[in-house]
Structure 1
Amino acid sequence: MSELEDDNICEEPADTNRTLPGVANFATFRDQVCLAQKQAQTELTELDKHRNIWTGLVQVVVLLVAGSWTDRAGALKPCILVPIAAQSLSLLYTMLCAVYMREIPLEASLLGADLMVAVCGGVPLLIAGIYSYLALATEPKDRTFRFACAAVSMVFFPVVANFFSGFLFKALGFIKLCLVCLVFCAASLLYGLFVLEEPKAQSGEDSATVESEKRPTEGGLRSLFDYRLVYDSVKVILRRRDFNKRNLLWLTLLAFFINFGALSDAGVAANLAISQFHWVTSFGIWRSYDLATTMLGTLLAMGVLSKRFGVSDAMVCVFSICFSMAAKPFMAYAVTHVVPNLYYVATSIDVFEGSKTIATKSLASKLVSENEIAKMLTLLGIVESLQVTIYPSLYSVVFLASQETVIGAVFWLSEGFLLLAFALYIVLYLLSRRSASEEAAAATGTEPTGPATQSSAKQGIDNPAVDITAL
């Protein structure tokens, strides 16, 4: 029924005289469509509460082991290829479930596909592997350029894919569209297996470090079950550090975790766009617009605020949160009063959304030594996976409880998380300035007399390994 796209059929009055080709009684047809749509949305939201918990916990365990194992074994290709292979198997399983959709329950199809990907690390492990590979295979002077190319590629292709997704879905159908995705996954997997080579350390010191860390992992895959791998990752945030940096590190991880609480309304926002606005192809267009504006806004924030004017990482996060807080009320009003154009208005306001993640990663990287950056990024990936077990389920519960009264309540919940994150980043800004001032004073052998300057405090994003990774 492509004629119903972007059509608020459920808003038609009971005494409407509207007709549709092939429909004998429009009122009865409308009631059936609206009831089925509401039931489908409720069932999917209810299922999301459970599957996000299981997949998130599995990913946390895998990342705890994989991050340290990769550093010890010096093998980065598995971190890239294993998630791609898992995604390919997941697509095959999804196609099988679509063929036998009346025999296989929804719970089995969704949970099975998600667990296949989660048990192999999923997207967090894939992205960590890509940037670790680039960091090890590239000289420092060329690293920023390659990171930028990778980041732009990872954002550009989803923009294009989302734009055409609705049209392709209508033209090909679900199974053929999954087959197209499978072709891309297979091509990536074959390239990684037969063309991509393991990177080599660029300096003799790095080579010696890699060799020394590979010795404890003799025994191949059995080393994956070494409990010391978990301890190696966790001890990064446990050991004592000068100038109050351990407490700053904990606070940064907390702020990073709370930040995802404000971002987790995206799934419900997508479901509401489809159910309230009846978007199909229009949803793909809006999603592409959202990704494109976020990419441009993030590049602007990083290039102008951080690089050009030297604004501190914590203040970049505060700047981004202010725009996000202004956008959420527009989203709530849009779904409550069925005004689709306000989704575009909210997206246009919240253009700096992606800069929070980049700046937080940069801030965390400056609190650890260089040989701990990879483990620190892995811990941030663990936090990213852990939040999946909490926030999506929380938003699902809130949505199910409020859909009959205040359907936009999820966006006000997101606003609350933004306020909490705003306070945390303000505290981080003040404490990081004090820590930088004490460190600068210790380096010069004088007492701290005031706020640290930009040259001594290293407030801007200056670590190429995390400069642009959150795009």
Structure 2
Amino acid sequence: MAEEVDAEHEKWQKLNLGSKVKYVISNITVEPLLAFFIVSSVLGNLTTQNLNLQKSCRVNLNMSDAICTALEQRNKTNYSIDQEAKVQELVTDMTMWQSVIQHTIPCIFVIFVGSWSDRTRKRKPVLLLPIFGELVRVLGLLVCVFYFYELPMEIAGLVESVPGSLTGGWMIMFMGVFTYISDVTTVKMRTLRIGVLNLSLTIGISFGIALSGILYQKLGFYGIYSICSTLYFMGILYGFFCLKDIKNNDTPAVCEDSKFVKNSSFSTNVKEFFDLIHIKNAFRVTFKRGNDNRRLRILMMMVVLMIIMGPMTGEMSVMYLSTRIRFNWDEVDYSMFSTFTMVTGFIGTSISLWIFNHKLKMDDALIAAMACVSKVIGSFVFAFAPNTYIFYLGPVVEIIHGAGSIATRSIFTKLVTPEELGQVSAVVGVFEAFVPMIYVPMYSAFYKATMKTFPGAYFLLGGGLTIPAVFIFLWMHKGNKEREAREIENNKSEIVQKNSELTNDTIKIPKLYETSEKNNYENSGFKSD
């Protein structure tokens, strides 16, 4: 197996650029499915934020049509900052309890799904379930638009939260995607493949964001939600007919140990699926002791994953609202900036992967540390930007920030075996679930308290919270270097020992003979006593 891994990696190294592109295209698996999911999710996100703002203004607060229309059109002459703040305060309050609903159930559900996926080696249902939930969510939002004045903002908030929560949403989708990729790639190719997946993710998000503002102004709620539902349906078709679960030599053994039997009843399978022993096993497998502080390293990686994702999640939850107040942006202005941010991040991630990882062979932990430093510096630019032009410099300053999550996930896959990956990913998913549950309410409350005095203050909060990750990654890098040095020393010792054994086996010491003959004559000088 190791020879096959090295052969594939060596084959990749010898390919030219054109051949590498063909290789990547020919190995496409989950990328289209993820694209359908991501584009439609992002495309509808800005529309849903506007739906909440409109319902807050027109239905819950019952403001006049003139004021609400002025807020939509960003016509400052017909509304005051206080009126904008009241509308936003209502939305941010709803965002707090929404984040709890959206992530509490997946936090528990992801463990059962990950354990079941490992035991049965089935990844495809894990990928299809979140898309089905998102399709139900979009259809429900269409109903909320149709009954606009009859259904208040809170009902739309529940429709937005519950279906995705019950089916896992982004959390289950990403767990399924990364475990599937790990099944079909070798260890040496995994960083590159995960990088390609993240780049395709970036493209999908950029594409969805770029079109979201313009399409919303042109097509409105009905047009956007119709497009989203179509994309989700196409994703379900692609996943059902084009994706195949990976079978390997371990599958029969795994299936034998599993209590899942084809002829067993539905209730038996459901009972087995939700067996609490799987939660215990998932945490036991994840935090079991191993060589080189395995448990501590996994725990530290979970912490830094939360640190990296937290500010990003929190900032995204309030950024659109803050730019409306700071720069009087509308949905098109925000979508243009978001597109620029994603494209810049795409370029930075590509450079960091190609140069730092592929060419310079830098350690994943060191790349992640550099990414966190760029995030900390960029937070000051975002927070104190006096105008739009300076605000646009923020993504340039933190251009390699996206490499942090890629490197972290790559480190995770290298700390565990393929048989443990699903359960470990499930526990990681639990930690990820706590990110929006903690950071979204935190950022919403922080923004609500500072929106009138310093609406960019939440960026400084994110920069400060990211600093500990830098030191953790540097600690990881130091440990990796020490392990590499020990391995080199051990390899040298093994080589010396083998050479010594080889020398002893091949060089024979002549025995002392009773008599030695030379030219058929006795040589008394070689006689023994």
DSSP 3-state at the match of 2:392: helix
2:286 to 237, 244, 265: 237
Shift in Å, 1:137: 5.4
Q: What is the match of residue 163 of structure 1? A: 210
Cα distance, 1:101 vs structure 2: 2.5
User: Are 1:250 and 2:299 counterparts?
Assistant: yes
Alignment of 1:77-156 (within 5 A): 77-136=124-183, 150-156=197-203
Amino acid in structure 1 at the alignment position of 2:79: Q
- The answer (yes or no) to whether the contact 2:184–2:246 under 8 Å persists in 1 is yes
Check 1:249–1:149 CA distance in 2 against 1; reply closer, same or farther (3 A cut). Answer: closer
Change (3 A) 1:142 1:322: closer
Q: 1:49 to 1:144 in 2, by over 3 A?
A: closer
Aligned positions of 1:48-447 closer than 5 A? 48-136=95-183, 150-193=197-240, 195-201=241-247, 203=248, 205-215=249-259, 219-263=268-312, 264-277=314-327, 278-334=329-385, 337=386, 339-438=387-486, 441=489
The 8 Å contact of residues 136 and 199 in structure 1, kept in 2 or not, is answered as: no
How far apart, in 1, do the equivalents of 2:453 and 2:99 lie?
25
Q: Distance in 2 between matches of 1:189 and 1:238?
A: 35
Pairwise CA distance, 1:441? 4.8
Q: Using a 3 Å threshold, how does the CA distance of structure 1 residues 31 and 44 change in structure 2: closer, same or farther?
A: same
Report the Cα offset of residue 148 of structure 1.
Answer: 6.0
Unmatched runs of 5 consecutive residues or more in structure 1: 1-21, 447-471
Distance 1:146 1:428 in 2: 22
How far apart, CA to CA, are the structure 2 residues paired with 1:29 and 1:422?
Answer: 42
**CA distance in 2 between partners of 1:139 and 1:314 (Å):** 20
Q: Is the 8 A contact 1:57 1:385 kept in 2?
A: yes
Q: SS state of the match for residue 389, structure 1? A: helix
Q: Distance in 1 between matches of 2:309 and 2:78?
A: 37
- Equivalent residues, number: 415
Structure-2 change in CA distance of 1:229 and 1:410 (3 Å):
same
Q: Which ranges of structure 2 fall in alignment gaps of 5 or more residues?
A: 1-68, 495-529
Q: Deviations over 1:157-185 (max 9, x none)?
A: 32222112111111111122111111111
Task: Provide the rounded CA distance (Å) in 2 between the counterparts of 1:368 and 1:140.
Answer: 11
- What is the CA–CA distance in structure 1 between the aligned matches of 2:349 and 2:131, rounded to whole Å? 27
* Counterparts in 2 of 1:424 and 1:140: CA distance versus 1, 3 Å: closer
Once the two structures are superposed, the pairs formed by residues 25-40 of structure 1 within 5 Å of their partners are 30=77, 32=79, 34-40=81-87
Change in CA separation of 1:213 and 1:34 when aligned onto 2, cut-off 3 Å = farther
Task: Tell me how far apart the structure 2 counterparts of residues 406 and 139 of structure 1 sit (CA, whole Å).
Answer: 49
Shift of 1:232: 2.4
CA distance in 2, matches of 1:310, 1:141: 11
Contact 2:382–2:459 (8 Å) recurs in 1: yes
Structure (1 or 2) with the larger CA radius of gyration = 2
The alpha carbon displacement at 1:425 in A equals 1.9
Give the C-alpha shift of residue 442 in structure 1: 5.5
The percentage of aligned residue pairs carrying the same residue is 20
Give the deviation of 1:437 after TM superposition. Answer: 4.0
Amino acid at match of 2:101: W
- CA contact 1:59–1:122 (8 Å) conserved in 2: yes
CA distance in 2, matches of 1:139, 1:319: 26
Q: Secondary structure at the match of 2:176?
A: helix
* CA shift in 2, pair 1:207/1:84, >3 Å: same
Question: Using the alignment, how far apart are the partners of 1:74 and 1:326 within structure 2?
Answer: 43
Distance 1:183 1:407, change over 3 A: same
Q: Secondary structure at the match of 1:243?
A: coil
**What is the TM-score when the length of structure 2 is the normalising length?**
0.72
Deviations 1:323-371 (A, max 9, x none): 112211111112xx4x112221101111111111111122222222332
Give the C-alpha shift of residue 305 in structure 1: 0.9
- Whether the 8 Å contact between 1:60 and 1:385 is mirrored in structure 2 is yes
CA displacement at 1:119 relative to structure 2: 1.4
Contact 1:361 1:377 in 2 (8 A): no
Whether the aligned pair in 1 keeps the contact of 2:199 and 2:349 (CA below 8 Å) is: no
The 1:232/1:348 distance shift into structure 2, 3 A limit, reads same
Q: Equivalences for 1:428-467 in 2 at 5 Å?
A: 428-438=476-486, 441=489
Shift in Å at residue 216 of structure 1? 5.1
Provide closer, same or farther for how the CA distance between residues 403 and 151 of structure 1 changes in structure 2, counting only shifts above 3 A. Answer: closer
Closer, same or farther: CA 237–133 of 1 in aligned 2, 3 Å = closer
Q: Is the 8 A contact 1:244 1:435 kept in 2?
A: no
Instruction: Look up the SS of the partner of 1:249 in the other structure.
Output: helix
**For residues 200 and 163 of structure 1, what CA distance do their matches in structure 2 show?**
35
**In structure 1, C-alpha distance between the alignment counterparts of 2:467 and 2:193, rounded to whole Å:** 35
Q: 1:246 to 1:137 in 2, by over 3 A?
A: closer
For 2:293, what is the secondary structure of its paired residue?
helix
Mapped partners of 2:192, 2:301: distance in 1: 27
The alpha-carbon deviation at position 49 of structure 1 amounts to 1.6
